[in-house]
Amino acid sequence: MSTLRARAGARLPGVTGRENFADLPAAVLAVCGWSGSGKTTLLEAVLPRLAAAGLRVAALKHDGHGVAVDRAGKDSDRLFRAGADVLLRAPDEAFARWHDLSLAAALDLLAAEHDLVLVEGHKDTPLPKVWLGTAGDAAPPPGLADLRAVLPWDGARIDALERFATALVRDHHEARPRLAGVLLGGAGARMGRTKHLLEHGGATFVERVAAAAAPHAAEVVLLGRGEVPPALAASRRLPDPPGLDGPIAGLLAALRWAPATTWVVLACDLPLLDADAVGWLLSCRRPGARAVLPLDAAGRPEPLFAAWEPQARPLLERIAAAGGGPIAAAGEPGVATPPTPAAIARRLRNVNTPDELASLRDRRAGD
């Protein structure tokens, strides 16, 4: 359980406890009602619709009478009764059975890779919830915390729950905090000197990229090691995680530090970048997309002019463990790759070599 508990303990800086579940990466909705109100039947009907809309949905079912999903004498049951937490894995599915898993820990685990967690039951928790009426009574019991809607027995409940859940995911997505991370340039082997300290238009490259991101982020964070100009000396910096290097190290440093945040991650060698380009990138976000990696004019994805959602972190952890870089995320399910408009593409001019730097400095205004 050590990995699970480590993930369950992840929080945004300054956020503690679980009285409020709004800081989870996924939206959460409890579907509550008395026995016989049709909770499971309703969820079974609405889940395919949400999946067809591109949302990754998890379901968490509460059973106050205990879990009966294994058979006495089976290997998995014997291991569980011997004291182990058990994961039973098959080619296309897996099943986990834990001795001790709190609601908060379960939600942390499921929210890491999903856009919505639908909880069946748990009416006495502070989760946002809808109440399902029965044939004889639509009224919920008094005192329910965070009750958002009542769906009567004779109403069009499938359509109503789909609309409500979709709106909840959209609102959660739009309210998600945004941070920007600028990747420092390392040794600059091809340039022969540190790239992020090169100057254009009276400011260093890193200052220009930070200024482009600032209108769209609560904070601009510098990712990686290296000297920074005096204008950015007070900026927060995140070191690369041990055992990792390259851009994926800075990206994972950001996502691990603030795991419920949308991160706009930008290379330092984009001296023509402006706020309009970053705004266009963010306009490509949508619920269900765990990252936006725009395609350049040649059809290649841009992982360092990209927006990364919290749900991208497990994917990037797997890529890093396999020795890959963030570009490997392109083509994965839930990763959007919109073409970059020509007006934006002109602002994404990379400067990696002395010749490219000379060309930048010689370019005419308006090029």
pLDDT of residue 210: 96
- Domain 178-362: give its CATH superfamily: Spore Coat Polysaccharide Biosynthesis Protein SpsA; Chain A (3.90.550.10)
Distance CA 180, CA 264 (A): 5
Angstrom CA distances, 203 to 19, 119, 196, 199, stand at: 45, 51, 10, 5
Number of helices (H), then strands (E), belonging to the chain: the values are: 11, 16
Stretches in the chain below the pLDDT threshold 70: 1-20, 62-71, 73, 185-193, 352, 354-355, 357-358, 360-367
pLDDT of residue 365: 41
| Topology agreement, domain 20-67+97-175 and domain 178-362 | no
pLDDT of residue 235: 95
CB 347 within 8 A of CB 305: no
The residues spanned by each domain of the chain are 20-67+97-175, 178-362
345 token code pair: 């593409």
Distance CA 367, CA 360 (A): 10
Q: CA gyration radius for the chain?
A: 24
pLDDT, one tens digit per residue, over 220-235 is: 999 998 888 999 999 9
Reduced to 3 states (helix: H, G, I; strand: E, B; else coil), residue 90 is: strand
Distance CA 160, CA 164 (A): 6
Question: The tokens 């959007």 sit on which residue?
Answer: 336
How many Cα atoms sit within 13 Å of 286 on the Cβ side?
Answer: 12
CB 43 within 8 A of CB 59: yes
DSSP, residue by residue, 296-357: -TTS-B-TTEEEE-GGGHHHHHHHHHTT--GGGGTTSTTEE-PBPPHHHHGGG----SHHHH
Reduced to 3 states (helix: H, G, I; strand: E, B; else coil), residue 36 is: coil
pLDDT of residue 6: 32
pLDDT of residue 66: 56
Fold held by 20-67+97-175 = Rossmann fold (3.40.50)
